[in-house]
Structure formats: structure tokens, C-alpha cells
Structure 1
Amino acid sequence: MDVNLGRIVITGVAGRMGATVREGLRENVGELVLFDREPVTADSDNETVHEGDINDLDALQKAFQGADAVVHLAGRPDEAPFDELLDANVKGTFTVLEAARRTGVRRVVLAGSNRVTGGYPIHHHVFPDEPPRPDGLYGVSKVAVEALGQMYADKFGLEVVALRIGSFETEPTETRHLATWLSPRDCVGFVRAALTTDNVTFAAVYAVSANARRFWDLTAGENELGYRPVDDAAGFAPGFPDDDPFWHGGPQGGAFASPESTLPHLPE
């Protein structure tokens, strides 16, 4: 791919997904701005480091100056006390979008989550425009992330793509991943497509590999972003039992949707 994506900011670049996206985009950008509260080192001449917190509006505005797009990956990645999720995921996304508005950033790619619909049963094929059915407090915070993106698109004209990230792993590590796996290659493919597609106001799409057993619809990703995933978890199926209780029914979120997943994080 020989297109130059311009000046791209990645928040949360020190995380696993951040490292993968960074590596996947590095050769196609004029400048890659690496934003994280953890120490990060520039590995090439076209990388610039900004250390800061996603709730620090001033720090974000400095990092966003002259940027063409922001890939927002920072936040809490799993179930946690609600106040922590509000701070990291909801307030953090609000601050990122507000910094983008103030600095004239054209497009923001948000790391949403498949967990916004993890309460649907596994036999239900979910389309992105169906009502949210979060499988926990984390899923609720990601519903709010999408709502903020929609509002900033409608009210302020930002171009926003919310990627409902599947199970991002090098390869599947549990039975559920045969349906939900997002490979590193497809992860970069979805992010690159979200940065380059034309005529976007707001789009929420499932970012998941082309798994034969998936229960999320990929049409929006193909129509809105022009990306069709290439990997399939089916090749790893022999490593998992066919009679796993996950396939007997229940929510798409699996263990994430159980009371035990959330109860430890509720107030005493």
C-alpha cells in the first residue's frame, strides 16, 4: 500500500493492540505520533513520542496539532469498577474527541468492543444497527464511547469510525475465539480501512476476522469501510472440543456475561 496517511496519532500505543497497529501503519504515514502515559521510544525517524494521560486535554491538544487522524486505543480493556471505566473509557474518549474538535483533526477511529452486544444469544446474528445489549459494565462504557462518537459526528462534523473489536489475539486461545477472533493482520486491515475510506460521518462496524462460526455481521465493514477480513479461526478448531458448553447456548459474551464477572466490581 503506497498511500501516505499523513500525520496519525495513536493513543494507548504501549498496549498489545497499539504495538500491532503502530507496526502496521509505520511505513504508510508521514509521521506517527505515539501517545501513552507509559514510556515509549521512537523506533524510526517518522515517529514522535508524547507522554501523557488521555484525560489531560492540554496534553492531547499538543499531540494532536497538525494531525490528520487519531486512532484512539487507550482505556480500560476489561471489567472494572464503574468509576474506573467512566474515567478511563468514557471521560477519556470525550477528552480525545474534544481535543480532536479543537485542533481540527478530521477523523477519529475509536476502539469500541464486541461486548456492547455480548448479551445476545450465540444463535443470534447481530447487525451493528441493533440495540446495544452489553454483557457487563465494560460493555456499558463502550456503548457510551460509541454514543460520544455519534454525537461529535452529528454536532461538530468529525468523521468517526467505531470499531467493535473482537478477541484480539495472535491466535485463538479458547473456544469462544472460534467465533470472535480478530487476527493481528485483520486488526491492521480494519484500522487502515477506517483511516482511508471516503464519505464517512459515523460508522460502527464489527472488527472481527472472517470466522466461519462468527455471530456478528460483516456487511457494514465491507460497505462502509471497504474491508473484507482474510483470516479465519476455523483452522484452529481441531485444538478445541466440539462439545464445549459454550456452543450449547447462552450469551455471546460467554463468561464475560456471567454475574461472577461483574459482582467483584460492584459496590459493597
Structure 2
Amino acid sequence: MKRLLITGGAGAIGRVMRKRLSGIADVIRLADVVALTPEHDGEECVQCDLADASAVQAMVADCDGILHLGGISVERPFDEILHANIIGMYNLYEAARAHGHPRILFASSNHTVGFYPQTQRLRADEPLRPDGLYGVSKGYGELLARLYFDKFGQETASVRIGSCTREPVDYRMLSSWLSYEDFATLTERVFKVPVLGCPVIWGVSANPASWWDNSNVGWLGWQPKDSAENWRTAIEAQGIPPANHPLVTKQGGLFTELAIMRNERSV
């Protein structure tokens, strides 16, 4: 690629991917609602509020691919999620439609299915069971991606990220963990395959305890290498949660018990 756009470039995953994916394109364009500074000649930075349609149009211009990490990544009041994850997602897809349909990797979330029990292994085509407004917004993003593929041919990989961190840190992550390296190699495959379509992919490393089945995307040629099992002994030494705790009962973990947050204006 000539230019890869990474939205959410100031976030935890964005900061890692700007370095790990530096060789995937001639130029990495980093965007976020906060200001960023290029670290070398192969980077350029854009400050952009995803809810600003004209700013998003300029952000997407001249890009061959988009790694969409931007938006709200935790449970928040509806107004915040509306602007960043719903209006922002629409603006991104309208900009992609106006600028030649650059292929998109959309960072969806396991919280689209958070109310499934951990005893159930899921395919990507199971009905959504979001565990909060954040999960609802990611389900909306997946539907929007599907609409723009069917109507306009816009290719998107909706990757339902589990827990993308440097290493797993709690009992639930023994199943949900996605290493930075495995996410990077998945991103590379998404942008390298000749034909992508609009698949939903579980973003999870090779954890034996995983609840998610990626057999439907074997054609992608992605094989995660890391495993949370390497941390099991240390995590279990901290104590295994009680049998009725959401960390061991629900796939969404603690998100399933969070209250719906009210907008500040209604408090």
C-alpha cells in the first residue's frame, strides 16, 4: 500500500500498531481526536473528530487501507458513544465510498456477544448478544460494514477483538487474550489477501481455552502464534474467581454487570 490510515493512533493499540505496521505501507497516516506528532519520515498525523464529516473526508483522502481503531473503547454514556462510534462510523464509510473504497479493518469487539455463557463456543454467525451500549455500537458497525459491502462493494474485515494487551492479566483473558503480534499479523493478512469480502473474524490468539471458532476464515491464511496458557500458572496463583463471578460465567466478563450510564445533561 502507498498509505495506510490508522485511526485511534493515540490509543494503546494504535501506539503499538504504528510501530509494528510501519513496513506495510509507504506512509502511515495516524489520526486521533488528540494531536499526534510524526516520529519519522514515513508517518503523517491528522487531528480529527470522527463526528465531523468534513474532517473525516479529508482524513480518508488518498488512503489505500484503513485500520479503524478510533472511537470509544469502553462503556460510556450514550451521547459519547453516539458521536464517536455511530455517527463517526457512518462518516468513515461515507468517506471511504467517496475516496475509492479503501479496504477497512474495523476493530469490532467481543462485547457484541458478551452475554453468551463461557461454556458456549461461538461461530461468527451467532446472533448478537451485546453486554452494553458499547457492544451495541460495535454491532451497529458490523451491520454498517455489511450494508456498504452489499450495496457498494466496500470490503471490510470486522475483527471482534478479545483482550488485546501486552500479556493476559486476569482469569478471563486466558480465553479472550489477543497478543499485539497476533493482531499485527492478522492486520497484514487482511490487507494482503486478493479478495476479502466482508468477514467477521474473532480477534483472539491461539488460546486453548478460547470460546471462539475462526474456522470460517481459514482461507485468510492467518495462524495466531501466541497463547495465554503461558500465563495460566501466574494468573491462577492470584486466585480463581468464584463460580458465579462474571469473569468465569459470561464471555463479556464485568461488562455484563455495568449499569447503563446516563448522559451528563440528564443527570
Q: Deviations over 1:140-165 (max 9, x none)?
A: 11100101111111111111111101
Deviations 1:77-135 (A, max 9, x none): 11111222121111111111111111113311111001111111001001101110111
The reply to whether residue 226 of structure 1 matches residue 225 of structure 2 is no
Matched residue, 2:68: 72
Map 1:16-95 onto structure 2 (within 5 A).
Answer: 16-95=12-91
1:159 maps to a residue whose letter is E
Amino acid at match of 2:9: V
Against the structure 1 CA distance between its residues 220 and 19, is the aligned structure 2 distance closer, same or farther, given a 3 Å change threshold? farther
CA distance in 2, matches of 1:183, 1:195: 19
Q: Distance in 2 between matches of 1:81 and 1:187?
A: 28
In the TM superposition, what whole-angstrom CA distance separates every residue of 1:58-87 from its partner, at most 9, and x where no partner exists? 222222222111111101111111222121
1:239 matched to which residue of 2?
Answer: 234
**RMSD of aligned C-alpha atoms?**
1.7
* TM-score of the two chains, using structure 2 as the length reference: 0.92
**Structure 1: distance between partners of 2:165 and 2:217:** 20
Using the TM superposition, name which of 20-29 and 246-255 deviates more: 246-255
Q: Is the 8 A contact 1:126 1:215 kept in 2?
A: yes
For residue 262 of structure 1, what is the aligned residue in structure 2? Answer: 259
Q: Determine if the alignment matches structure 1 residue 186 to structure 2 residue 185.
A: no
Change (3 A) 1:70 1:13: same
> Of 148, 158, 163, which residue of structure 1 is paired with 2:159?
163
CA positional deviation for 1:168: 1.0
**3-state SS of 2:81 partner:** helix
Look up the SS of the partner of 1:27 in the other structure.
coil
Deviations 1:241-268 (A, max 9, x none): 374326875211121112xx12444766
Corresponding residue of 1:253? 252
Count of aligned positions:
261
Could you tell me which amino acid in structure 1 is paired with residue 212 of structure 2?
W
- Describe the shift of the 1:151–1:37 C-alpha distance in structure 2 as closer, same or farther (beyond 3 A): same
Residues 150 and 47 (structure 1 numbering): CA distance in 2 closer, same or farther, change over 3 Å? same
